[in-house]
Amino acid sequence: MLSEAAVSDRRHSMFSSDSALRVIARVGLTPRRGFRLIRRLRHDAAVSVMKRHYELPPLTLECLTSSSGTPESPILDDICLPPHVAGEHDDVGPLLTIARHLQPAVVVELGTAHGNTVANLCRVCPSARVYTVNALGEEQTGAYVTYVLDRADIGRVYRRYGFADRVVQIYSNTLTVELGRYLARDSVDLAIIDACHDTEYVINDFHKTAPLVRAGGVILLHDTHPSMRAHLGSSYIACMKLRRRGFDIRHLTGTWWAVWIKPEGVDGPNRQMRRQSEKACTISDEAPRL
């Protein structure tokens, strides 16, 4: 594996400031546009170096759950997952198949939106209690945020379907939320990261949820795809950065989901955890199973 410093050295050697200035002069760009272009090229070069070393290995749903079907149609009100919005592939079926297979007692979701996913999870997992986080519009930060919502709209679907008594709604920015006030360590069976998709937010959200997840529990990260088209890139980069830190995150084939199954012996987001997880989550060809 390349260290963070080695990746950074390669990136800088490709674009020294002298060669950058020569390129700007040759193509007749203004310095402002030229430097913007260089920043973009540096970013793309860093990403392609990262991708060569930390691309997420594929994992199929069949391999994960020994199942591929979507037996019943989901609640569709305000649904925010492909194929109902954005993409033509199916992200709802695999999510609900995993949930049905796991039958979690405790679920955490970052990014409630209108509460469609919570409603569907409550329906297919009758014993689940769901903790779900969404910032109120005025407290929300980040770029790839999908919605800016007020209190009445956050979670309205699960309330409409009568699931409110199984849901703890947390109105908070994920950067500042203290999930430890609601949940004990190693108590969560399934976590879904689907709030702000900016790279640093996804990394923050992963490190906040990972210590709460039990060994064998699952974290799913949405809008993560190797094409890295548009909004799919920043979460994919976050997952590659997490892989570089030793977390064996994989891409669920044919979907916009990434998956991490917590191994035994991995703890909170501190140095000790990193050391343990580097040992525990070695990148192997052996597919994890639920």
Ligand X SMILES: C[S@@+](CC[C@H](N)C(=O)[O-])C[C@H]1O[C@@H](n2cnc3c(N)ncnc32)[C@H](O)[C@@H]1O
Residues found near ligand X in the complex (CB under 6 A)? 80-81, 111, 113-114, 116-117, 133-135, 140-142, 145-147, 149, 173-175, 194-196, 201
Q: In the 8-state DSSP scheme, what is residue 172?
A: S
Q: Which is nearer to ligand X, 97 or 277 (CB)?
A: 97
In this complex, which beta carbon is closest to ligand X, that of residue 27 or of residue 230?
A: 230
Q: How far apart are CA 15 and CA 75, in angstroms?
A: 50
Minimum Å gap between C-beta 274 and ligand X is 24
Tell me the C-alpha distance between 103 and 190, whole Å: 9
Q: How far is the CB of 283 from ligand X (least distance, A)?
A: 28
Name the residue nearer to ligand X (CB basis): 46 or 179: 179
Select 142 or 246, whichever has its Cβ closest to ligand X: 142
Which phi and psi angles does 134 have, rounded to 5°? -150, 135
What is the Cα–Cα distance from 252 to 269, expressed in whole angstroms? 24
Query: How many angstroms separate the CA atoms of 136 and 28, rounded?
Result: 46
Residue 85 CB, nearest approach to ligand X (Å): 9
Spatial CA neighbour of 196 closest among 180, 182, 211, 175: 175
CB of 221 to ligand X, least distance (A): 12
For residue 155, what are the CA distances in angstroms to 133, 135, 162, 192, 198?
A: 10, 12, 11, 15, 22
The minimum distance between CB 192 and ligand X, in angstroms, equals 7
Pairwise CA distance, residues 198 & 256, whole Å: 15
Nearer to ligand X, 26 or 181 (CB): 181
Tokens read off for 258: 């990434």
Q: For residues 101 and 96, what is the distance between their CA atoms, to the nearest angstrom?
A: 8
Q: Considering beta carbons, is residue 117 or 277 the nearer one to ligand X?
A: 117
78 vs 248 by CB, closer to ligand X: 78
Nearest-angstrom CA–CA distance, 242 and 209:
13
Least distance (Å) between residue 37 CB and ligand X: 29
State the Cα–Cα distance between residues 201 and 207, nearest whole angstrom. Answer: 10
> Shortest Cβ distance from residue 222 to ligand X (Å)?
7
- Who contacts 115 (Cβ-Cβ below 8 Å, separation ≥6)? 78, 132, 154, 155, 156, 157, 158, 159, 167
The minimum distance between CB 149 and ligand X, in angstroms, equals 5
